[in-house]
Amino acid sequence: MSNKIINRFASAKTYIETCDKYFLFVFIPSAVLIITGWSWGIFIAPPDAVQGDAYRIIYLHVPTSIYAQLIYWIMAAWSAIYLIWRVKLAAYLTISAAYVGLLVTFLALFSGSIWGIPTWGTWWQWDARITSTLILFLMYLGLIALHDSFNNQNKADNLMSILTIVGCVNLPIIKKSVDWWSTLHQPASITLTDNPAIDPAMLYPLILCIVSFGFVLISMGVLVSKIIIFNREKNRNWVKNYG
Amino acid sequence: MLPHRKKRLQNILLLLGSSFVGIFLILTALNSQLDLFYSPSELNKNNLPQERIKLGGMVKKGSIKYEDTKVLFVLTDFEEDLDIEFDGIPPDLFKEDSGAVMLGSFDGNGVFVAEEVFAKHDENYMPPELSK
């Protein structure tokens, strides 16, 4: 019974069919929400008392930083599924997500650097938060490079999954870096335990941006995974007959 | 769960656990070396470091003075104070009662001569009307 369910969800063919069926339900909201969220944040939300308009890059920086870490957690879960149940789809999705993770981590670092120039007076400092995020970026890059360096795809999937799981150790460090060590980066504004340290007029568009980035990245991930899956399964009949 | 899958799960948990223990030991050993800056009370006033260091803390209220092109101020962590001298333009967010980080070294008289000053800002965001 349980194997039947796993096999059904584990099929790359079913995955592609499902994605094709529902893609527009994710893609259209992603476009609408991101435009609404950014317009709200840039034109409607009030300026900050200390930073003026410079803080508005938060509407790019916070969503990208959140997903830079979240995507890695998801990849680690897929890697474990691949290693335990040998579900190939999980490996396809892991490597697809690595490309998306690489992009958002770059955006998080880049937007943070831009934000740092007018506020901190520097675009880069080797503080624990910034350095551990750079390590996350290099992890994504390393996973992609490792996966690309094998002719034997199963071996590539295996080693990538193992390395993904080992790389998890960096995630709590990124999260707690601003509490454990003295950094130039400020502590978190939004936490699960305390009231947000950010005014509701600025918080609501930020939440919208975070949600919309979820849709954007899922759309992006689906497109990347289609390329990866068609490439990996190109000799299978369902791919030859696709479309 | 089938026995061979259970074995793989155990291997993954072992891998994850040992990685976490390893990184924990490394971080414990490095401890405060991973701090970006020293705070004033971490320094021994009788034996100030000779090398270039980064200092961080709060700019003491009412302490900023301008002399020619120099900015003089007092950096505090509410336990110890240090005199800072900076010849240059600090960032816009550099102000009294606000965080700052600086790179520089001590001169012979216990004054910290900063080469670069960075402003630290806190995690609070609010519209200008509400902050008054």
CB contact under 8 A, A182 and B125: no
Q: Predicted ipTM?
A: 0.91
The pLDDT of B40-63, averaged and rounded, is 91
Query: Any idea where the domains of chain A sit in the sequence?
Result: 15-44+55-237
Q: Coil, strand or helix: which one is B6?
A: helix
State how far the Cα of A43 lies from the Cα of A36, in Å rounded to an integer: 10
One-letter amino acid at A177 equals S
Q: Which residues of B touch A125 (CB under 8 A)?
A: 36, 101, 118
The pLDDT of A114-118, averaged and rounded, is 95
Helix (H) or strand (E) holding A188: none
The pLDDT of A31-53, averaged and rounded, is 95
| Selected residues 94-123 of chain B with any CB under 8 Å from a CB in chain A | 94, 101, 116-123
Closest residue in A to B7 (Cα–Cα): A84
Note whether A59 and A42 are within 8 A (CB). yes
Query: Any idea where the domains of chain B sit in the sequence?
Result: 3-33, 35-119
pLDDT in tens, B95-112: 999 999 999 999 988 899
Residue A76: CB partners within 8 Å, gap ≥ 6?
Answer: A164, A165, A167, A168
State how far the Cα of A102 lies from the Cα of B1, in Å rounded to an integer: 34
CATH number for domain B35-119, candidates 3.40.50.1400, 1.10.10.10, 2.40.50.140, 2.60.40.10: 2.40.50.140
pLDDT band at A8 (very low <50, low <70, confident <90, very high): low
Tell me: pLDDT of A5 over 70: no
Note whether A202 and A48 are within 8 A (CB). yes
